[in-house]
Structure 1
Amino acid sequence: MKDHQGPPSASGAKGAVERTKGGPLWKTVSAELLAEVLAGEFAAGFPGELELARRYGVSRGTIRAALKPLRDAGHITAHPGKKPTVVAGRSTAYGPIYSVLASIRESGMKHSSVVLEQHLVVNAEVAAKLALHPDAELFHLSRVRFADGEPIGLDQVWLPGATAGKLLEADFRDASLYGELDRRCGVVLDGGTEQLTAVLATPGQAVLLGCPEGSPLLLIERTGCHRARDLEFRRSYVLGDRVAIATAFGCKATPPRRG
């Protein structure tokens, strides 16, 4: 990466970017953009693809590849025909299920879902978790998630119907809940809490997941927030023998050199 004095403006010329040793060009661009996003350099607006391509002296294809990790992680959001925008205050600490669709695709496998329920319901227990009236309508989505045709988990989510009612029209056989929530409802979750518990598959879950009754499952219960308000309650049952979960946080130690 060429040196420059201070962060460039969104419209300023930056000059051709240099590839990081051993890595593709788009990763170099993506890393620099992420650093500037986290530093708040685009508070006034995020530049479009053409402007970024001119700024870095690369093709639009390289820019699209560089922006994809930022979108997937929730740092920016983009809608057809509009410039990407920075998601202010967005945390990426959503845990493993948040990015399950992207993780499956990045692993080279085909993702699909069988939708079991997609409707408005009344559920006093969930309403209480979201600080809503017991009779409040909730959007409820239940589906079995697959990777290369093999079931990997059962996903159940509830959101306030007043906020997420437009999700009734979405096709969740191969779509991200959070992507559709952003695109259709203009909502991006910016925080939350998770609890992980080991459980045994019930007879009904065993049928849906194609596993023996009593098989070990990892239950992930999440409450997702939007602007300091609890907006999502989610239960995900994951097959431990078909899914490996790994997360990264903070800095990473440099492996010691050998020889």
Structure 2
Amino acid sequence: MNTPVNLITGCLLLFVYSCQSPPLSEHTVKTTAQPRGSYVAEINEQTATLHDTASYTLTEWNGSNVTTPYGGLFRLRIPDRAQIILSAATRVSFPKLSGKMDQLTLKGEIFLTTTTPLQVNTGAASIAVPANTSVNIKAYEEDGAVEISPYNRNVAVTWNNQSGNITAGQHGVLKNSLLQQRHANRELIEGWRDGRFTEADPGELLREIARWYNVQLLINGPIPAMQLEGAMPRTAELTSLVKILQANSIPIHFDTTRQAIIVSQSMPVQADSSGQ
């Protein structure tokens, strides 16, 4: 295990150790114009802004669309139905459907607390969330997986004519038509809501950093197979996070001209030459 690197005294320790993980292929995350940390969303083509811990009340939910930008976070309240926290680059839609169960389509990540039964559709899977349930659902298309973490009640999942149940307290990952479960580490799952980067997989961490800091992510070829431990604050400067990843042998560089994080084995691992 490498020696811990202290980026901000008393705030950040990052540990790295080897593990087996698949290589990452070339990948791009596009940008938008909103600054990181903004409480802004587009609701039915209208901009809505929140302050601090406030929530936006969505009274006309049927047929509505809510989208957060890169670097954004948004809290949504639907009276008598649900409360939803939306992560960066997330879109939720409420189709005009009739029936016993409300439906929601998701691209991105949400923490959902519902008082009525709710069907969440991600395209890759359909999740039946019972009434009075809290669940974290992550379904970014670029991740190639759907992650489901119910807190207090079991949820049912269907995909490709298959079905399964995820037990409360477990973390389910649906990838390549295979649903796997393990004990949920809530500290990791809740990091995005608490202002921390807690992703253990370096590829997942880099995608999350790109979404939060509103930059492109360019991955060309594999990166070192490793596992990360610890947490990094989302209030840190991007260049500081890049330097700590460089110090742990991740071949990463921040190109200030292109506003892009570049990962490539062909470049030397060194401090950012921009000095920013």
Which structure would you say has the larger Rg? Answer: 1
Say which structure, 1 or 2, has more relative contact order (CA 8 Å, 6+ apart). 2
- Normalising by structure 1, report the TM-score: 0.24
The answer to which structure has the higher helix fraction is 1
TM-score, scaled to structure 2: 0.23
